[in-house]
Structure 1
Amino acid sequence: MVGSKKNSKRRLAVRYVLATLLLLVMVYPYLYMVLNSFADWTQVDRQFIPSKFSFKSYEWLLTGGDVGIARPWMNAFFNSVFVSIASTFLMMLFGIMVAYALAKLKFRGRDTVNNFVLFHMFFPAIILLIPNFLIIQKVGLYDTYWAMIIPKAVSLWAIFMYTNFFKAVPDAFIEAAKLDGASDFKILYKIMMPMSKSITAVIFLFLLMERWTELLWDMIVVRSDNMLTLNVLLSQMFGPYGSYPGPLYAASVLLTVPIIIMFAIFGKKFKEGMQFSLK
């Protein structure tokens, strides 16, 4: 008995050590990026852990940098925030409305639409890249915010997740609300949305993160510097911005901060929603 307890404690200790090492391996790249964003420029990428720190990299971004090279950064950050929030809001709005119709309304062709959503989810998005670009160009939306927002306004994954959740809601709630004279929009707003807070947090965070990290589409539909998102501007730093590694790390930190803040705010609901989605 004593020997088995010692062995179990040893196995548990080994697991903790391995888990800690794995966590350090996963966290260190981000920690390295943060440390170098605050490091003195003489130590950026030259020491494993910098010993001198300053805010010079962030000041460079915020104040315009040398000869104005850094001026697009704050504008690019605003573009990323605006485009991500607008796209995510539309994806959530259309997702919840379409899902309610597919889950709770009876109409001809409902199964066909549902099957089309499932069928379309198997296609990689890159297949529609060229057709979407040609449409954006022909309707005159090239190099505008609309070019980055409209093609990303519908998420089939969000529709799929909401549809499965709404199907699990008893029809008795819907029927009782309709007997009281509630419309479908009121039922959706007063009943379905409050009940779906947990799954909404999951969908919101995934959609926001996906849109926030979008690069390829934003790169091909915008041309002018004042329309660039932060991801696109970061990808261009290997050219004229390559000699400023400190601001590069600082901009990368700014790129990840909104996602961390959103997860900190909606973390509890996110965990609850993940529990439901894994059932």
Structure 2
Amino acid sequence: MAVKKIEKGVMITLLILGGILMMVPFIWMLGSSFKPENEFTVIPPTIIPHHPTWNNYSRLFTEMDFLVYLKNTLIIVICSFVGLLLNALAGYAFAKFEFPGKNGFFYLILATMMIPGQVTMIPTYLIINKMGLVNTMAGIVLPGLVGAFGIFLFRQFMATIPTDLMEAARLDGAGEFRIFFRLILPVVKPVFAVQAILTFIGAWNSFLWPLIIANDERLYTLSVGLSLLKGQYGTEFGLQMAGAAFMVIPIIIIFTFFQKHIIEGYTISGMK
């Protein structure tokens, strides 16, 4: 019994030390974002600034177009949530309806998961170019509206919902959309929650595709704007740290408050 307590104590200690080590870069970034530039050359270096200032954050919005980048990023996030609903509808169709070529089409969708996204960027760009959507917000948003993983996850979960529930709703006069929104969505709420969180993180961090498709800086996202900091303000470390913190903090907040839903969603998906 004593040996088990010692092992448990050692394991907890190692986990705490590992967690602290992993937090050091984030704490350094957050503290450095409030430093004036002359404090970066202080020896020994300081983690907590001696003379904290908000100047670095204010410069993000006065000297750079971070407010425009934020607006573009939020548009992509909102449109991605619309795409999440489309994924759920597609998963519902594959799980509960019969139509010609259903299995073959589903396997074809699954096969796209084995193709790296970088491989499809050139043909996707050519299609967007033919549609005349290059350098537009629609061109940035459209390719990411639906995804094979989301369809697969929703389909697998919805397939376990008893069809008798749907038949009973149809007998009561409910239409298919009402069944989906009033019956199916509440049941798949854990999966929907985890997909919503992952969708937010993916949309918030969108970098490569907006960089490729947008020639106008007014269409850049926060990630692209952060990369511009490295080139235009490469020697101003406080400004770069402020931009990085501005990008990371919302994701940490979202994950902190909704990590229970992430774990619950993956656990239920695995059990199903």
- Contact conserved, 1:92 with 1:204, CA < 8 A, in 2? yes
What does 1:1-279 align with in structure 2 at a 5 Å threshold? Answer: 5-44=1-40, 46=42, 47-52=45-50, 53-62=52-61, 64=62, 70-86=63-79, 88-279=80-271
Secondary structure in structure 1 of the residue aligned to 2:10: helix
Deviations 1:55-85 (A, max 9, x none): 12112223x1xxxxx2312211221121122
Relative distance call for 1:30 and 1:81 in structure 2 (3 A) is same
For structure 1, the residue ranges without an aligned partner over 5 or more in a row are: 65-69
In 1, Cα distance between equivalents of 2:12 and 2:28: 23
In 1, Cα distance between equivalents of 2:187 and 2:131: 39
In 1, Cα distance between equivalents of 2:142 and 2:149: 17
In 1, Cα distance between equivalents of 2:12 and 2:253: 28
- Contact conserved, 2:33 with 2:238, CA < 8 A, in 1? yes
Secondary structure in structure 2 of the residue aligned to 1:38: coil
Identity %: 29
Code of the residue aligned with 1:239 in structure 2: it is G
| RMSD value, Cα | 1.6
- Contact conserved, 1:201 with 1:270, CA < 8 A, in 2? yes
Moved runs in structure 1, 4+ residues, more than 6 A?
Answer: none
- Contact conserved, 1:234 with 1:248, CA < 8 A, in 2? yes
Deviations 1:143-165 (A, max 9, x none): 11111100111111110000011
In 2, Cα distance between equivalents of 1:169 and 1:102: 13
* Structure-2-length-normalised TM-score: 0.93
